[in-house]
Protein backbone atom coordinates (compact mmCIF):
# COMPACT_ATOMS: atom_id res chain seq x y z
CA UNK A 1 0.00 0.00 0.00
CA UNK A 2 1.29 3.45 -0.91
CA UNK A 3 0.31 6.60 0.91
CA UNK A 4 0.69 9.87 -0.92
CA UNK A 5 0.52 13.23 0.81
CA UNK A 6 -1.56 15.77 -1.06
CA UNK A 7 -0.34 19.30 -1.77
CA UNK A 8 -2.68 20.53 0.97
CA UNK A 9 -1.18 18.00 3.37
CA UNK A 10 2.35 19.06 2.51
CA UNK A 11 1.36 22.68 3.00
CA UNK A 12 -0.15 21.84 6.38
CA UNK A 13 2.98 19.98 7.50
CA UNK A 14 5.19 22.87 6.42
CA UNK A 15 2.98 25.32 8.28
CA UNK A 16 2.96 23.13 11.38
CA UNK A 17 6.76 23.03 11.40
CA UNK A 18 6.84 26.74 10.69
CA UNK A 19 4.62 27.62 13.62
CA UNK A 20 6.86 25.61 15.97
CA UNK A 21 10.12 26.90 14.53
CA UNK A 22 12.84 27.77 17.06
CA UNK A 23 16.59 28.21 17.00
CA UNK A 24 18.62 25.80 19.07
CA UNK A 25 20.73 27.73 21.53
CA UNK A 26 24.01 25.89 21.96
CA UNK A 27 25.83 25.89 25.31
CA UNK A 28 29.19 26.68 23.77
CA UNK A 29 29.02 29.47 21.24
CA UNK A 30 31.14 28.80 18.15
CA UNK A 31 32.12 32.52 17.96
CA UNK A 32 30.31 32.90 14.63
CA UNK A 33 27.57 35.35 13.83
CA UNK A 34 24.78 34.56 11.39
CA UNK A 35 23.57 37.55 9.41
CA UNK A 36 20.25 37.05 7.67
CA UNK A 37 20.09 39.47 4.77
CA UNK A 38 17.26 39.90 2.34
CA UNK A 39 16.01 41.99 -0.55
CA UNK A 40 12.37 41.27 -1.23
CA UNK A 41 10.45 43.50 -3.68
CA UNK A 42 7.47 45.65 -2.78
CA UNK A 43 5.09 43.28 -4.60
CA UNK A 44 5.95 40.65 -1.94
CA UNK A 45 5.63 43.11 0.97
CA UNK A 46 3.28 40.90 3.05
CA UNK A 47 5.79 38.02 2.89
CA UNK A 48 8.62 40.43 3.73
CA UNK A 49 6.75 41.70 6.80
CA UNK A 50 5.98 38.16 7.99
CA UNK A 51 9.65 37.25 7.46
CA UNK A 52 10.68 40.13 9.73
CA UNK A 53 8.16 39.03 12.37
CA UNK A 54 9.41 35.45 12.22
CA UNK A 55 13.04 36.56 12.56
CA UNK A 56 12.02 38.52 15.64
CA UNK A 57 10.09 35.50 16.98
CA UNK A 58 13.24 33.39 16.52
CA UNK A 59 15.11 35.78 18.81
CA UNK A 60 17.13 37.51 16.13
CA UNK A 61 18.11 41.16 16.47
CA UNK A 62 17.66 43.73 13.73
CA UNK A 63 20.93 45.40 12.69
CA UNK A 64 19.41 47.29 9.76
CA UNK A 65 16.04 47.12 8.05
CA UNK A 66 16.94 44.03 6.00
CA UNK A 67 19.81 42.64 8.08
CA UNK A 68 19.16 40.53 11.17
CA UNK A 69 21.68 38.79 13.41
CA UNK A 70 21.92 35.75 15.66
CA UNK A 71 24.86 33.85 17.14
CA UNK A 72 23.05 30.54 16.64
CA UNK A 73 22.86 28.28 13.58
CA UNK A 74 19.77 29.15 11.56
CA UNK A 75 20.33 27.98 7.98
CA UNK A 76 17.71 25.20 8.08
CA UNK A 77 15.14 27.50 9.62
CA UNK A 78 15.74 30.25 7.07
CA UNK A 79 15.40 27.72 4.24
CA UNK A 80 12.07 26.56 5.68
CA UNK A 81 10.87 30.17 5.91
CA UNK A 82 11.87 30.71 2.28
CA UNK A 83 9.89 27.63 1.26
CA UNK A 84 6.77 28.45 3.29
CA UNK A 85 6.58 31.98 1.88
CA UNK A 86 7.71 31.06 -1.63
CA UNK A 87 10.73 33.39 -1.41
CA UNK A 88 13.23 31.14 -3.18
CA UNK A 89 13.35 33.48 -6.18
CA UNK A 90 14.36 36.42 -3.98
CA UNK A 91 17.53 37.24 -2.13
CA UNK A 92 17.28 35.77 1.38
CA UNK A 93 20.64 34.51 2.60
CA UNK A 94 22.57 33.64 5.72
CA UNK A 95 26.10 35.01 5.92
CA UNK A 96 28.35 33.47 8.58
CA UNK A 97 31.13 35.66 9.94
CA UNK A 98 33.35 35.93 12.98
CA UNK A 99 33.56 39.73 12.88
CA UNK A 100 30.70 42.21 12.94
CA UNK A 101 32.79 45.28 13.67
CA UNK A 102 31.59 48.07 15.95
CA UNK A 103 28.40 46.23 16.97
CA UNK A 104 30.29 43.26 18.47
CA UNK A 105 30.06 44.27 22.14
CA UNK A 106 26.44 45.39 21.86
CA UNK A 107 25.39 42.11 20.21
CA UNK A 108 27.35 39.94 22.65
CA UNK A 109 25.59 41.76 25.47
CA UNK A 110 22.17 41.43 23.82
CA UNK A 111 22.59 37.66 23.37
CA UNK A 112 24.11 37.15 26.86
CA UNK A 113 27.48 36.11 25.46
CA UNK A 114 29.58 38.27 27.78
* Phi, psi angle pair for 5, to nearest 5°: -85, 130
Q: What is the pTM of this model?
A: 0.83
Q: Would you tell me how many other CB atoms lie within 10 Å of the CB of residue 111?
A: 18
For residue 92, give the H/E element and its range. strand 91-97
pLDDT one digit per residue (tens) for the chain, 114 residues: 555 656 765 676 666 667 778 898 888 999 999 999 999 999 889 889 989 999 999 999 999 999 999 999 999 999 888 887 888 889 999 999 999 999 999 999 999 998
Domain boundary assignment for the chain: 7-110
Which own/partner pairs from 93-97 qualify as long-range (CB within 8 Å, at least 24 positions apart)?
93/36, 93/37, 93/38, 94/34, 94/35, 94/36, 94/37, 95/34, 95/35, 95/37, 96/32, 96/33, 96/34, 96/35, 97/32, 97/33, 97/35
Q: Can you give the pLDDT at residue 9?
A: 57
Domain 7-110 has CATH 3.40.50.720: no
Q: Can you give the pLDDT at residue 5?
A: 55
Amino acid sequence: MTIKITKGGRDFLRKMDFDNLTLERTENWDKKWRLVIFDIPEKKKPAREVLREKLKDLGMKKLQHSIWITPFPCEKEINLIKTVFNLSDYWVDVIITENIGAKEYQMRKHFDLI
